[in-house]
Amino acid sequence: MKPMESDALDCRALEEIQISAVIPVYNREKTIARAIESVLAQEYPPAEIIVIDDGSKDATREIVQKYGDKVRYVYQDNAGVAAARNRGVSEAKFGWIAFLDSDDYWLPHHLKHIVYAMHDTEEKAVLYFSDIEHNVNEKGGSYWDFCGFSISGRYEFRQDASRYALGLRRQPMMLQASVIQRQIYIEAGIPKALVTREDTFFFYRVCLFYPACAVSGIGTVMSSDDDRGGRLTVALDSKTPRYHDCTILLYKELWRYNNMMNPDQRKIIEESFVRAHLDYSRLFLKKKQFFNAMKKVLGGFKINTLVALKWIIKDLKSYVLKRL
């Protein structure tokens, strides 16, 4: 797919689309300037740039403040990724939010291509997202390819965007490659306790209930530069209790909205909620923590006994077949 080419559009119409760029940062003195420079280099500039410093102990503050009034710097005590993004949204003055992680950077056309799609669709979607160059050291490939996702034109608008959240092996959206309606972000909310999978939760909340639009082309580069564990977008291993705690919390929060889901959506989310408990129980079994394992199994049964039994039988069959 070729990148979206510039069209002759009504400049005044485009200028009505005002975007707040929000960059959460934590101890990224080696990459924050690159992130800011990539925002300043946008062919369609945002109306404001806000950097939320989530308690950095290095020279991040000094580097950001060198940009003067080009960038609004906000410091907060360390509270985690969700709190940092939420603070950025609360500080934003305009109706659309574009996030960028301080480790990553935008290509110059990123916002321009998304704004063209926003103009063409009359801003009817609440989420616009493009592809991302994913992992690592600038040698990665298309994130959409990794997800098994593609579109046939410059953009794809969906009134029912649930396919983006549920219909693929992996969601094709990332916050740092998205432009989001500010009010919808506030309404959807991201629980502060979600230190990982916060993207997944947010995109479930949006795509199950609101229209969204995929925009062709890579606009964001995800980097692993200076990777000392300082990324705000934390990638926790599925073998850790914290990952499983966040996964269960994700589906617990989603399940609060099950009465708004159609039957197919409800079935998928319910099965995922049950599965999250059973996956956690397997981790405890490997550690020979049998009481904790049983508690998680019972948690799955409380949600839906038949679904829990189905998954347990499936796992047992798989276990037996591996040993034949």
Question: What fold is seen in the domain 11-221?
Answer: Spore Coat Polysaccharide Biosynthesis Protein SpsA; Chain A (3.90.550)
What is the amino acid identity at position 165? Answer: A
Can you spell out the DSSP letters for 102-123?
Answer: TT-EE-TTHHHHHHHHHHHTTT
Given a contact cutoff of 8 angstroms between Cβ atoms, the answer to whether 202 and 127 are in contact is no
Q: Is the pLDDT of residue 7 over 80?
A: no
Conformation bin of residue 134: beta by default, left when phi > 0, alpha when psi is -120 to 50? beta
Based on the number of CB atoms within 10 Å of its own CB, is 260 exposed (0-12), middle (13-18) or buried (19 or more)? exposed
Query: Does the CA dihedral 271-277-280-281 come out positive or negative?
Result: negative
Given a contact cutoff of 8 angstroms between Cβ atoms, the answer to whether 281 and 297 are in contact is yes
Range with the largest mean pLDDT of 142-146, 210-214, 287-291: 210-214
217-252 per-position pLDDT tens digit = 999 999 866 554 444 554 445 678 989 999 999 999
Tell me what pLDDT residue 320 has.
62
What is the amino acid identity at position 126? Answer: V
Tell me what pLDDT residue 8 has.
47
| Tokens matching residue 67 | 């940009």
pTM, entire model: 0.87
Report the alpha-carbon distance of residue 313 to residue 73 in Å, rounded: 54
| Strand ranges, E, within 182-300 | 212-221
Tell me what pLDDT residue 35 has.
98
Q: Which of 113, 90, 111 is nearest to 100 (CA)?
A: 111
**Helix or strand or coil: residue 316?**
helix
Tell me what pLDDT residue 260 has.
93
Given a contact cutoff of 8 angstroms between Cβ atoms, the answer to whether 211 and 125 are in contact is yes
Tell me what pLDDT residue 10 has.
55
Tell me what pLDDT residue 1 has.
41
Tell me what pLDDT residue 50 has.
99
Tell me what pLDDT residue 225 has.
60
Conformation bin of residue 292: beta by default, left when phi > 0, alpha when psi is -120 to 50? alpha
Report the alpha-carbon distance of residue 52 to residue 85 in Å, rounded: 8
Q: Is the pLDDT of residue 114 over 60?
A: yes
Given a contact cutoff of 8 angstroms between Cβ atoms, the answer to whether 47 and 17 are in contact is no
Domain boundary assignment for the chain: 11-221, 241-322
Report the alpha-carbon distance of residue 50 to residue 32 in Å, rounded: 12
